[in-house]
Amino acid sequence: MGKQKSIYTQIAFSAIKEMLNTGGTYELESMEPPKELRDKRACFVTLKNSDNSLRGCIGTLVPYQSSLMVEIIRNAISSAFHDSRFSPLTTS
């Protein structure tokens, strides 16, 4: 059985998946954040390859978004598609 993913990982994964499938994260961002993700907080999202090597890492030292949930979503998208050290993620 696989390791249970945290709410933070679930949100980041959902954001990347939604971006790949629809080109945006509007639906996810419009949802009411879970209680533990409502406060404004800074965060980093680090993506790793299956061999545990770095795939992307973007974050903030101070919060810029309306909630931690939106901060995670935006940083996940930046890590997956806008980290200048790597090519953007694709479905193939």
Fold of the domain spanning 7-81: Glycoprotein, Type 4 Pilin (3.30.700)
Instruction: Name the stretches of the chain with pLDDT < 50.
Output: 1
Please enumerate in sequence order all residues whose Cβ is within 8 A of that of 4, keeping only pairs 6 or more positions apart, or say none: none
Domain boundaries, the chain: 7-81
Give SS3 for 48. Answer: strand
Look at residue 1 in the predicted model and tell me its pLDDT: 41
Both tokens assigned to 69: 């949930």
Please give the mean pLDDT across all residues of the chain. Answer: 94
Both tokens assigned to 45: 């999202």
Look at residue 4 in the predicted model and tell me its pLDDT: 66
For residue 84, count CB atoms less than 10 angstroms from its CB and return exposed for 0-12, middle for 13-18, buried for 19 or more: exposed
Tally of CB atoms within 10 A around 90? 8
Look at residue 78 in the predicted model and tell me its pLDDT: 98
